[in-house]
Amino acid sequence: MDPALRAAVEELIGAAKVASSRPAGGGCISRAEVVTLEDGRRFFVKSNPAPLPGMFEREAEGLAALAETGTIRVPRPIGAGQGDDAPPFLVLEAIDSGNRREGFSEDFGRRFARLHASSTAGEVNTTRFGFDHDNYIGATPQPNGWAEDWCDFWRRRRLDHQLALAREKGLSDPTLDRLGERLADRLDDLIGHPREPPSLLHGDLWSGNYMVDEQGEAVLIDPAVYRGRREADLAMTLLFGGFDARFYAAYEEVWPLEPGSEDRLEIYKLYHLLNHLNLFGRGYRDGCVAILRRFA
C-alpha cells in the first residue's frame, strides 16, 4: 500500500497501525486492497487518484441506506477520506468470500423483496421518488433529487438524462432520439401503474454487484441507490444473467408483482442499456432501439 494512503487510512480508522495489505478483486474503477491492522482487524480499502466528484461519499451513503433496512448484508462503511499526499479513498468492512449455501437463490430473492417492502413502511416511508444526493451508476452520473411523480422522475432523470449523454458522446442518432422522445410522451400510460409506495432500490444490481459471504449468503455491493418503483431494480437483474427462476419465484412469494409487470420490466431495462451504451459504446444501440420500437 502506498505509504501516504496507509497513513491516511490509519488516521481515519484510528487506534491501530496497518500491519499488511494485499490487492483485492472488485476494483474495476478504483484500486482495491484488503488491509490488516496490528490488532487483527481487517478492512477493504478503495482508492483512486482521480475519482468522480463525491464518488466514495455517495457509495458509503448508499451502503448505509441499504444497511438500515436490516434485510440483506452490505459491507459496513467506515468512512471516506483523503490525506495530504494520499488519493481519495473509502474504507469498508472486509467480508470474506464463500460458497453459495443450499437455497441461496431462494433466500436472496426473499431478502431482496423484503428490502423493497421494508423500505416502504413505518418511519422510513416516503411518497417521493429520488434521493437526497445525486450519485453514480457505474461511472455515469445519476441525477436524483426528489419528485412527487414517478413518471416525471423516470422521464427527466433517467430516460432523458441517458439520451442527452448519448448525444453528447456522439453515440446517438436520429432514430434513437426520435423513438426516445416518443417513449417519453407515453410513459404515463406505460409505467404509470401500479400505485405502490417508492421502495429503496439498490439501483444497479447485476451479477457483478453482489458477492457470497462466508455464510454462503448474498451481500450487496456497489449500489446506485434511490427511491423508486421496485420493478426498476428487478429489470437490471434480468439483463445479464446471474439470477435464476428460483430467485424470482421466492421474491414473488414475499411481494408479488402487479399485473402488467412484464412490459414495465422491459421498459425499465432501457435505462440500463442506455447507460451501457454511454459507458461501452454502440454495441448496445440495437438493444435500446428494440425496446424503443416495441413501446414508443
DSSP 190-210: HH----PPPEEE-S--SGGGE
177 is a catalytic site residue:
no
Element at 56 (helix H, strand E): helix 55-68
Grid cell 421498459 in the structure block, residue: 267
Rounded Cα distance between 188 and 181, Å, is: 13
DSSP 78-118: EEEE--SSSPPEEEEE---B-PPPTTHHHHHHHHHHHHHHH
Rounded Cα distance between 292 and 273, Å, is: 11
Nearest CA to 43 out of 96, 95, 94, 97 is that of 94
- Helices 285-295 and 174-191 sit at what angle, rounded to 10 degrees? 50
> Which amino acid would we find at residue 169?
K
Cβ neighbour number for residue 123 with a 10 Å cutoff? 4
204, 213, 244, 286: the catalytic one is: 204
Rounded Cα distance between 243 and 206, Å, is: 8
Nearest CA to 66 out of 111, 8, 28, 29 is that of 111
**Burial class (CB within 10 angstroms; exposed 0-12, middle 13-18, buried 19+) of 46:** buried
Q: What is the DSSP letter of 213?
A: B
Cell numbers found for residue 232: 426498476
Which residues are annotated as catalytic? 204
